Amino acid sequence: MKAFLGRLGIRWLLNLGVTDHLGLESSVRVQLSNLISILGIFSNIQYSFFFAIAGAPHYQLMNVIHCFVILVLVLVLYLNWKERYSLSRIILVFTISVPLFFVSTISFGTSGGFYYYFLMFAIVPFVIFSYEEKWWILFVFLMNTSFYIWFEFFGHPGKFIEGTLLYQKEVQEMFRINSVVSCLSFVALFMFYFLRNINRIQKEMIRTNDHKDRIFSILAHDLKGPIGTMSTYLGYLTNSLPEREELIFGLKELKKSTNQTYLILENLLDWVRNETKKTQYNPANLNLTAILKNAMDILSMQATDKGICWETNISEDHCIYCDERMTATVLRNILSNAVKYSHPKGKVFIEAEPISQFLEIRFQDQGVGMSVDLLEKIMEGKRFASGFGTIGEKGTGLGLLVCIDLLREQGGSLQAISKLEEGTKIIIRIPLAR
């Protein structure tokens, strides 16, 4: 169904004016405004033919009014596209009532039941205006309700020329039935669309709260540890005159804590940027070896302390088309996990080879591995509790999630293969240099 609507261009029309800076609630109002405009255009075209065929009184004048309304509704779509949302909504709520008013005044009277549409248009402002625009909502509601009451209690049946289709009572009843069914169908469509998007808003709120809780958890626990360690060692170094060996040991611990804090903050910021769609992607042709070496240098102290040995099989000629910051973050996270979950004196194997339009980079460790359940959660982007490393290192649970998102942003991919106590193999694909 989505593909069919996409071919017709309906989905494009529905999303006119919907931009990244709009919130979900505002986007829904713009989409509903577009939906009402599209339905109004089709309805006016349809009734122009019906009135001409049925011989409605003054149908030539009514068709001129229909053409005017169609042009104004096209203008509403244009204004949404130009992000002039308030003006487009105000024009819309007044324009949609125009043809009904003239139909019920100079053509059909109360015979066709067209004035029933005023009841439908009385609820339209509730779904396209925000609460802050409540006076507009009230005004449009009262205006359309007043029109309905006037025609219902003070209106007169239309006068039709003998020999035309509309002169027959059965045809008039068909128009009345069509008006009732159309009103109910349009209201159901608006409500369904609105409820669908309310459900999206609720899910977004749940996701936002989950992200907030995760950020607070990282700030309260994962950053507290390394910063506390740095404070302790700095206090020790400033309050005493340590021996050379103790000084070197303390500085090494400070460097490890600094690196850990940096990685946690970088992962957190990258994750937040990606979730809020504010990631800046600046690709270029880059040498993989240079980026990988920088990542290994940052983690060299942690690897050395655990006796982890790198074994690489990567050509100096391998170049990739990527964003340097994103790719560096991905490599650091993967290598950091490999060190963290490897047993002391273990090995981490790194190799790369071109496959089709991508460079496939494989990282294999001999560490604790992951359960099937944990692996599924990671690949599905679900929240999970990060375990401790083999010597008590703490993680945020964001590393691989950030990697998946950053690789996807660059047109790449990540695959993980793991078994408990047998190690983990991470395979990433990044587009080759162009």
The Cα–Cα gap between 225 and 260 comes to: 10
pLDDT of residue 384: 64
pLDDT of residue 277: 60
Phi, psi (rounded to 5 degrees) for 349: -100, 135
Q: Is residue 423 part of a domain?
A: yes
pLDDT of residue 113: 83
The Cα–Cα gap between 65 and 96 comes to: 11
Residue 271 contacts residue 207 (beta carbons within 8 Å): no
Q: Is residue 80 part of a domain?
A: yes
The Cα–Cα gap between 312 and 295 comes to: 13
For residue 138, the surrounding DSSP H or E stretch is helix 134-154
Q: Is residue 303 part of a domain?
A: yes
pLDDT by residue, tens only, the chain of 434 residues: 444 445 546 788 888 888 877 777 788 888 888 988 998 898 889 888 888 888 888 888 888 988 999 999 999 999 999 989 989 999 998 888 888 888 888 888 888 888 888 988 888 888 888 888 889 999 999 999 999 999 889 888 888 888 787 778 888 888 888 888 888 888 887 778 777 777 777 777 776 676 666 666 555 555 665 676 677 777 767 777 677 777 777 777 777 677 767 766 766 676 666 666 656 778 889 999 988 988 888 778 778 878 888 898 888 888 999 888 888 888 888 888 888 888 888 899 999 999 989 999 999 998 888 888 888 877 776 666 666 677 766 665 667 777 888 888 889 999 888 888 888 999 999 999 88
Same domain? 290 vs 426: yes
Domain final residue, candidates 188, 207, 226: 207
Beta strands in 166-298 (DSSP E): 283-287
Q: Is residue 237 part of a domain?
A: no
Same domain? 195 vs 331: no
Q: Is residue 242 part of a domain?
A: no
Same domain? 8 vs 132: yes
The residue written with tokens 């009402």 in the block is 36
Dihedral sign computed on CA atoms, order 95, 101, 106, 108:
positive
CATH number at residue 344: 3.30.565.10
Same domain? 194 vs 324: no
Domain final residue, candidates 178, 207, 236: 207
pLDDT of residue 5: 44
Residue 74 contacts residue 113 (beta carbons within 8 Å): no
CA distances, 259 to each of 129, 160, 299, 300 (Å): 50, 86, 8, 10
Same domain? 20 vs 150: yes
Q: Is residue 115 part of a domain?
A: yes
Cite the DSSP H helix spans in 348-396.
Answer: 372-379
pLDDT of residue 420: 85
Same domain? 173 vs 292: no
* Long-range CB contacts (within 8 A, 24+) of 198-204: 200/24, 200/28, 201/24, 201/25, 201/28, 204/24
Residue range(s) defining the domain that contains residue 184: 2-207
Same domain? 291 vs 415: yes
Phi, psi (rounded to 5 degrees) for 7: -65, -35
Q: Is residue 290 part of a domain?
A: yes
Return the C-alpha torsion angle 79, 85, 91, 92, nearest 10.
100
Residue 390 contacts residue 368 (beta carbons within 8 Å): yes
Q: Is residue 229 part of a domain?
A: no
How many domains would you assign to the chain? Answer: 2
Same domain? 195 vs 285: no
Domain final residue, candidates 192, 207, 222: 207
The Cα–Cα gap between 81 and 78 comes to: 5
